[in-house]
Structure 1
């Protein structure tokens, strides 16, 4: 495969003649498979070759010996660059990245020094807690992530104040922590989530005998009244302005336009967008299936022609050639399905580009806008809840606050007809 990307025979002979020539070629095949651009391949493969030659001189004789020479190679290349150009800015990343990426391809289990998976908090004292959450409580991966998020901050707080054992916890200490969290400007819902996570954690710690007293009841949380907020929707005119801001001439634009249409038309959640597969589109019957909603049930929608055309445009002229059945993919290598965070980020980006002002813009903005349109069309809340996948009708009640015309009639008249 070297000849497909490197023109000079001397270059391909040099790569193939390396003592890790097979590994370098495997790395090249992986880069191609993951959709990396040619210019990226031209830059990274030679670095992999240079690293192999450097490691050989330093005494490496097997592929398993390579990781111990990474730091020395990076230091050598950075020093050489500094001597020639007088700057080493970004060079460490430019050298280390390709080397560690190649090692992750050819050495199973190799983990580089870059971004790591989030450490599991309190794993040393309560190693079974997250297994308990997933197996006994049946929590989803997204919920487990939230537990790690909140408990990591609690663990860091305890370390900062010098608490080395959960046995030192007390109602006073827990109250002080909750006060600190409340004072940092977090929303009431976030502080309440922190309290809920701590209560579950403390009950489990007591059950396992790590703490002698069940302290879960001493964790206070802010009052959070149902229906106290107004959904952060934008007008349908704002939705259309946002859609018009998408440049659909590029693969990224085609993908983003299709995603925004799905959000606005069906009120889908970001995670429902990323879970869509080619099998969920029934083109013959013009139906769209959403098989795994938050409430655990499925929904089937009539497939809007506008949405269908946008998805087809992306599938034909934007989606990478892959055997993966997911619909939407990252635009940059490595080739992976898009994440829910990316869906929310792109929605926020286009809202701002269109000059549409809304608190905390994101994918849920379009979901709220879809519901607002249904409310304006005088659909009952039960039907709306079924449409957007609410488990309980109580979750839809907040949208009664945005039934503007009905509320206006109440304000201007006696309201008897509206309330009857």
Structure 2
């Protein structure tokens, strides 16, 4: 096997073209390969994982002198492909999650602790998104400790937890810090350090209960009309209509498989990723029609049996909820709706609120949305103005204000 950067690079480029990648993407890979070749000069010329790690760490743009997100992404992507090739002899073009899971600790104890935590969350069968969130914040804390010269958890104190959370305030919205603490606390309990758990409880972080609005009838009409026209691709129309009419979570839309669709009964049956509960939802005529258009005419020929696939190589399922959000935002924009921050969360709340206004009982709404508890559905009572007005008591005559 030719393990020189040039040799591996030529194999990678050939595989990219064979897999149907766009020339613009191939060009980005070739640009990174040229940079790697220059970096490897004077270092033997052969590619090794350690060489790749050093190359991927070159995240500062020589032009601006600042961190370059595009440079970091391109270099890390190339190194991942090169590493897989020298390890297995095969070019692995499978998609990787954005961000790469964040920074990772370097010290032996912290690396072992992070690995043990990942193993524990995996053994407990937690959802992939939950494991990723738990692991990301745990590693961020360990990296934070290392930046303060701490290499042993025994040397960390409760103040380090508060300083860590304070360091995130510049990058996280105040409303989002609640979820950081929620994802952080299980790791602290895993370490057995009750003092660190108590310190996390001292952080003044409150959960935000935002009441999302219901889409006006005119907005729904515009979106549905656009989804019925050729202006919207069949895939994007089906995804948007599925989210709008069923209230499915983004993760469940991504994981939907061809075998889950009952075309005769016009239903989709699945096991929800978040609750692990089975769910069957009805499909409207327009949704079934656009879904059929996509499967028969648009969908790429792929061994991946997920319903919704990427439009460009590799033709695999959509990567994460950001992909679904991007699709829905694009559809709303083409429908002429630009003043609504669209996404599955909004459409999920909208579907629930519409059902509630149609006098559908809460237990039924809870079942349709796949809530594990009826309490989760109670939030939608806050947007049912008509029923809330029914609860208002008349003020007796003569009562002073």
Q: Same fold (TM over 0.5)?
A: yes
Within-5 A mapping of 1:215-364: 215-220=196-201, 221-222=203-204, 224=206, 228-244=209-225, 249=230, 253-338=233-318, 339-352=320-333, 354-358=336-340, 361-364=342-345
Is contact 1:262-1:268 (8 Å) kept? yes
- Shift of residue 345, structure 1, vs aligned partner: 2.2
Within-5 A mapping of 1:4-403: 28=14, 31-33=17-19, 35-37=20-22, 103=82, 107-109=86-88, 116=100, 118-121=102-105, 122-135=110-123, 137-181=124-168, 186-188=173-175, 190-206=176-192, 214-220=195-201, 221-222=203-204, 224=206, 228-244=209-225, 249=230, 253-338=233-318, 339-352=320-333, 354-358=336-340, 361-403=342-384
Query: CA offsets, 1:218-264, max 9 Å, x none?
Result: 322446469x43135423432333344569547x7221111000000
- Shift of residue 104, structure 1, vs aligned partner: 6.5
Aligned residue for 1:299, secondary structure, equals strand
C-alpha distance 236-296 of structure 1, shift in aligned 2 (>3 A)? farther
How many equivalent residue pairs? Answer: 365
- Shift of residue 306, structure 1, vs aligned partner: 1.1
Higher gyration radius (CA): 1
Structure 1: stretches of 5+ with no match in the other structure: 1-19, 73-91, 415-420
Aligned residue for 1:203, secondary structure, equals helix
Separation of aligned partners in 2, 1:369 and 1:362? 11
Separation of aligned partners in 2, 1:229 and 1:215? 30
Is contact 2:114-2:138 (8 Å) kept? no
Is contact 2:308-2:317 (8 Å) kept? yes
Aligned CA RMSD, in angstroms, stands at 4.7
Is contact 1:287-1:303 (8 Å) kept? yes
Structure 2: stretches of 5+ with no match in the other structure: 1-5, 56-70, 396-401
- Shift of residue 397, structure 1, vs aligned partner: 0.4
C-alpha distance 287-185 of structure 1, shift in aligned 2 (>3 A)? closer
- TM-score if structure 1 supplies the norm length? 0.69
The answer for the alignment partner of 1:15 in structure 2 is none
Separation of aligned partners in 1, 2:213 and 2:352? 11
Is contact 1:23-1:106 (8 Å) kept? no
Is contact 2:366-2:377 (8 Å) kept? yes
Is contact 1:344-1:363 (8 Å) kept? yes
Separation of aligned partners in 1, 2:26 and 2:151? 48
Separation of aligned partners in 1, 2:215 and 2:223? 10
The answer for the alignment partner of 2:67 in structure 1 is none
C-alpha distance 152-380 of structure 1, shift in aligned 2 (>3 A)? same
Aligned residue for 1:285, secondary structure, equals coil
Is contact 2:84-2:92 (8 Å) kept? no
- Shift of residue 309, structure 1, vs aligned partner: 0.3
- Shift of residue 59, structure 1, vs aligned partner: 9.4
- Shift of residue 396, structure 1, vs aligned partner: 0.3
- Shift of residue 298, structure 1, vs aligned partner: 1.0
- Shift of residue 316, structure 1, vs aligned partner: 1.9
- TM-score if structure 2 supplies the norm length? 0.72
